[in-house]
Structure 1
Amino acid sequence: MTVLAGIGDEAGPGLAAQVAAIAELGWSAIELRTVDGVPFAELDEAAFDAVAATLAELGLRTVCVDSRIGDWSTSITADFGRDLEELRVLAERCGRLGTRYVRVMSYPNDGLHADEWEHRVLRRMRELAARAEQADLVLLHENCAGWAGAGADRAVRMLEEADSPALRLLFDTGNGIAYGYRSADYLRPLVPHIAHVHIKDGFVGPEGPEWTLPGHGEADVAGCLALLAENGYQGALSIEPHLTLRPHEVEQNTGTADGFIAAGRALEALLAPAGR
C-alpha cells in the first residue's frame, strides 16, 4: 500500500495540531517543515528533542524534512555557508528521526546572466549532493523555485552533473499551476528519478494560483497518480494542500486543520478506485 503523509504545518503551527490531524486521517507518517513557525533546522535542541520524543511515542514515521536550501526565500547569490550548516544540522536530526530524505530547491536567480546562474547552481548542487552522500542523506529536489525547477530538461541536467545517488527528485502535482506547465507533461520524462511526491491541486484564478482539494482542480492529480503507478512508484504521497497555509505568503498557519483533513480524504478517494 502507498504510504500517505502530510506536511505537518499545513494542518497547524504546533506539533500537537500537526500530529492530531495525521491521527484524524488514520495515517502513520508525517513530513516536517516548521514547528510553531520555526524552520525545522532552527529549532533549539529542547524543541527538537520534544518533537523527536513525541513522534517516537506516537509511532509516527517521518518521510521527509523540508529544508530552506535553495528555496524561494533565498537566491543564488546568498551565503552558501548557511545552506551547508543547515545540511549539517539536518544530517544529525534526520538520523534521530529515521529519515534520509531532505527537500531542497535550486536557487532563484538574483540578476546574474543565465549562464552564470546555471554554472553556480550546478556547482552548489554537486557540493550539496557530495556532502549528503557522506552523511547518508538523499536530497530531493522539488519542481519549484530555482534553476532546475523551470523544466524537466534542467532537472535531468542537474542530476547528470551531480552524478550522485544522494540527489533525486521530488514531484509536486500542483506546482505547474504556479509555474505555467502541465503537471503530467513535466512528470513523464522524470518518473524514473522521482523518490517523493507532494499532492496539491488548484487552478489559475484572476489574481494567480488558487488552491483546492486534490482532484478538484486543473493539475490532473489523478493522471499524475496513474502515471506514477504505471511506472512502479513506491514512495510516499504527502499532501501539501495550501488551503490554510501558503508558505510563500505567510509565516504561520493560524487556521484549523479542516482543509488539511479534507485534502487527505480527497487523496484517499482518488486512490480508492485503483486499490492503492
Structure 2
Amino acid sequence: MPSAEAGPVEVRLAGIGDEAAADLAGQIGAVAELGWHRLELRTVGGTPVADLDEDAFRRAVRRLEAAGTSVVGVASKIGDWSRPVTGDFAVDVRELEILARRCAVLGARLVRVMSYPRGGLGGPEWGRRSRARLRELARRAEDHGLVLAHENCAGWAGDRADRMLDLVTGIDSPALRLLFDIGNGVAHGYPPLPMLREVVSHVVHVHVKDARAGAGGEVVFVPPGEGEARVAECLEVLFRNGYGGVLSIEPHVRLRPHLESGTADRDAFVACGRALERLIARTAITSGTPR
C-alpha cells in the first residue's frame, strides 16, 4: 500500500450515464456538460449492455466514437441482487463472455460485479458457492484481459470488509479487485469510512454517492457532501493511498435502478457532478483540476 506521504494523484471523473438519461445521446451530453467525456455504461435505452442486440451495440459504439466519449467500465448484472447464488451460473458466464467481446471494442477493462444474494442458503455454503463462482469468473476474465471490480453492495461480501479481503486475497487473481461505493454504507447500515480504510489497497474503481437517514429510517440520497457518507474524508483516504482509478458518480438522487423507482434526471446528475468537483477542490492533497 502506498504511504500516507504519497504524492498528488490525477483525478479522473466519470458517471453512470443512465442516471442522467435513458438514451445514449443524453448520457453523452450529460458528461460533456460537466467537461468529463467519460461514461460508465450500465444500460442504453433501458437495456443492459450485454443484452443489446448487435446492431444496437454497433450504433452505440459509433455514437461514442463520434462524440469522443470514452467508456471507463461496464456495470454488469453478474452476482447482483437479481441473481442468487442458487441460480443458473451459466447466465453469468454467458454475460461475461459477451462483455469480454464488447469491452474489447469499447476499450474498457473494468466490469462491475457483486457476490450473489444467498438464495436461502446458510452462511458457510453461501460463501463457498460465491467464492467458487467468482474464482471461475476471475479465471475467465484474466484470459480476456478484464478486471472484475466487486462492489460493496449485494451479496456475500457486500457489506463486510473481511469477506471482501477474503475474496481478493483468497482467489488471488489480478482479474479480481474491489469497487468501493462511498454511499452504499449509509444505505446498507454500516459506516463507509472504516471499511474503506481496511480495503483501500485493493480498490480499483469508485462510485460516488451520498445519503442520509430520512423520516422513518428511509434512506434519502443527496448530492456528494450533503449526507452522512463522509465523502470528503473517503476521498482523502483514497488520494493519500495513491488511488489512481476513476471517480464515477452514481447519484441515485432521482433514479434508483435496482428498485425500479424514479426517472433519469440530467440536471440532478450534473448538479451532483458539480458537487463532487467542489469537494475535490477542497481536498488539498489532490493535484490541480479534475478532468
Across the aligned residues of Structure 1 and Structure 2, the Cα RMSD in angstroms comes to 1.1
Residue 115 of structure 1, aligned match among 112, 120, 124: 124
Q: Kindly state the Cα deviation for residue 263 of structure 1 after the two structures are TM-superposed.
A: 0.2
What is aligned with 1:244? 254
Residue type at the aligned position of 2:19: E
Q: Does 1:220 align with 2:230?
A: yes
What is aligned with 1:231? 241
**SS of corresponding position for 1:136:** coil
What is aligned with 2:186? 177
- How far apart are the structure 1 equivalents of 2:82 and 2:157? 16
- How far apart are the structure 2 equivalents of 1:221 and 1:19? 25
- How far apart are the structure 1 equivalents of 2:47 and 2:264? 17
- Within 5 Å, which residues of 2 pair with 1:127-142? 127-142=136-151
CA contact (8 A) 1:2 1:234 kept: yes
Q: Kindly state the Cα deviation for residue 137 of structure 1 after the two structures are TM-superposed.
A: 0.4
- Within 5 Å, which residues of 2 pair with 1:1-276? 1-205=10-214, 206-250=216-260, 254-273=263-282, 274=284, 275-276=286-287
CA contact (8 A) 1:11 1:244 kept: no
Q: Kindly state the Cα deviation for residue 207 of structure 1 after the two structures are TM-superposed.
A: 4.4
- How far apart are the structure 2 equivalents of 1:44 and 1:208? 38
Q: Kindly state the Cα deviation for residue 150 of structure 1 after the two structures are TM-superposed.
A: 2.1
Normalised by the length of structure 1, the TM-score is 0.97
Gaps spanning 5+ residues in structure 1: where? none
- How far apart are the structure 2 equivalents of 1:188 and 1:254? 34
Moved over 3 A (4+): none
CA contact (8 A) 2:213 2:220 kept: yes
Residue type at the aligned position of 1:147: W
CA contact (8 A) 2:138 2:173 kept: yes
- How far apart are the structure 1 equivalents of 2:95 and 2:218? 32
Residue type at the aligned position of 1:97: L
CA contact (8 A) 2:159 2:190 kept: no
Q: Kindly state the Cα deviation for residue 255 of structure 1 after the two structures are TM-superposed.
A: 4.1
CA contact (8 A) 1:66 1:103 kept: yes
Residue type at the aligned position of 1:238: S
- How far apart are the structure 2 equivalents of 1:254 and 1:195? 29
Residue type at the aligned position of 1:186: M
Note the alpha carbon deviations across 1:142-200, whole angstroms, 9 max, x for none.
00000011210000001122110000000000000111111111100111100000000
Note the alpha carbon deviations across 1:81-139, whole angstroms, 9 max, x for none.
00000000000000000011000000011111111101100100100000000111000
Residue type at the aligned position of 1:193: H
Tell me how many residue pairs correspond in the alignment. 275
Q: Kindly state the Cα deviation for residue 208 of structure 1 after the two structures are TM-superposed.
A: 2.1
- How far apart are the structure 2 equivalents of 1:137 and 1:184? 28
- How far apart are the structure 2 equivalents of 1:49 and 1:172? 30
Gaps spanning 5+ residues in structure 2: where? 1-9
CA contact (8 A) 2:255 2:265 kept: no
- How far apart are the structure 1 equivalents of 2:120 and 2:213? 27
Note the alpha carbon deviations across 1:228-247, whole angstroms, 9 max, x for none.
01101010000000012101
- How far apart are the structure 1 equivalents of 2:166 and 2:277? 34
Residue type at the aligned position of 2:45: D
**SS of corresponding position for 2:119:** coil
CA contact (8 A) 1:126 1:161 kept: no
1:202–1:124 distance in 2 versus 1, CA, 3 Å = same
- How far apart are the structure 2 equivalents of 1:79 and 1:49? 29
